[in-house]
Amino acid sequence: MGVQLGEIVPREEMGFDRLKGLALAIDAYNALYQFLSIIRGPDGTPLRNRRGQVTSHLSGLFFRTCNLLKEGVKPVYVFDGKPPSLKREEVARRQRAREEARRRYEEAIREGRVEEARVAAQAATTLTDYMVETGKELLSRMGVPVVQAPSEGEAQAAQLAERGLVWAACSQDYDSLLFGAPRLARNITITGRRRLPRRNAYIEVKPELVELERVLSALQVTREQLITIGLLVGTDFTPGVRGLGPKTALKLVKEGLSPGEVYARFGVEPPPQFEEAKGFFLKPSVAEVEKLEWREMDERAVVEYLRDEHDFSEQRVVKAIQEVKAQTRASAEEGTLSRWF
């Protein structure tokens, strides 16, 4: 779900030219879910190899990562670990929602309602261990570093950004800000034309930058207060107060109301895990990463993996790799020439 703070968080559009040469920590689960939801047939059927295994996630991961590398971006993918106990109810809720969406999908397919089937299939998307492991294997062959978080991937990405190992954390959600990421880059893995839900229309999606200090300054709150606002609105760890949006939550917190007073105003009891959730945002469980290493892409290994094991078009895979290598050479030559001027 992610915390919904878009109404109050200032952000700015940016071009990929601003990201050239910079390392970005990408929330891998967030990106893989996007690929699995978007890369499907008209009736919602995902891409599969000859053994019936889903490959939509590999297609999105490979081609999007190639595009990032061509732009001079240095991606690192951060994978979630074990969900904290605080997230137990949210995990169960998501599972129920996916099961219901799967039921709607099967019903729509039986009755020939293709568009409804496609929408339901997207909602029923599930990320399996197979998808995670094949994604990691592909990234390894591409020379792109992978970080395994002990718990929340967004917390780990935020820590990498805080320590200066990457320039920004990348996710569609705003949780990274609550975890202390100095910069959050959005729309990095879905840039381009995007179909609007339930409509035959598209919008242009461009990269956005959110800076924590700018957010706190604009809202005139501390990070701890921002966490409180997020918890009141609703996070993966606490249910939101019905009828309370981020603008009202911001107003009440700035007026000095305690979380208990806010809940009382709306006639509900504070969730018992409120303070624990706040503490988790302030001091999450993360792995201590000393350095990140990017290697040259192993073209042969990538082609063999995608072509032989997952039935990708060799021509398309080789073309994408060659474009990355050509752009890398051009950038290197440009850097060499620039030293003479």
Same fold, 1-219 and 220-283: no
With a CB cutoff of 8 Å and minimum separation 6, the contacts of 128 are none
Give residue 90's pLDDT. Answer: 83
pLDDT digits (tens, 9 = 90+) for 175-195: 999 999 999 999 998 766 665
Given pLDDT bands bounded at 50, 70 and 90, which one contains residue 1?
low
Superfamily of domain 220-283: 5' to 3' exonuclease, C-terminal subdomain (1.10.150.20)
Say how far apart CA 309 and CA 300 lie, in whole Å: 13
Q: Report the chain's mean pLDDT, rounded to a whole number.
A: 90
Measured between its terminal Cα atoms, the distance across the chain in Å is 50
164: how many CB neighbours lie within 10 A of its CB? 9
How far apart, in whole angstroms, are the C-alpha atoms of residue 123 and residue 44? 10
Domains in the chain: boundaries: 1-219, 220-283
Q: Say how far apart CA 183 and CA 5 lie, in whole Å.
A: 15
Q: What is the pLDDT of residues 219-252, one digit of tens each?
A: 999 999 999 999 999 999 998 999 999 999 999 9
Q: What is the mean pLDDT of residues 71-76?
A: 96
- The rounded distance, in Å, linking the Cα atoms of 249 and 43 is 40
Checking if the pLDDT of 314 tops 50, the result is yes
Q: Average pLDDT, stretch 105-125? A: 83
CA–CA separation, 175 vs 158, rounded Å? 9
At 126 the pLDDT is 87
Fold of 1-219: Rossmann fold (3.40.50)
Tell me the backbone φ, ψ of residue 282, rounded to 5 degrees. -75, -35
Whether 22 and 170 have beta carbons less than 8 Å apart is answered as no
Specify the pLDDT at position 337: 44
Q: What one-character-per-residue DSSP string does 131-152 give?
A: HHHHHHHHHHHHT--EEE-SS-
Q: What is the pLDDT of residue 338?
A: 45
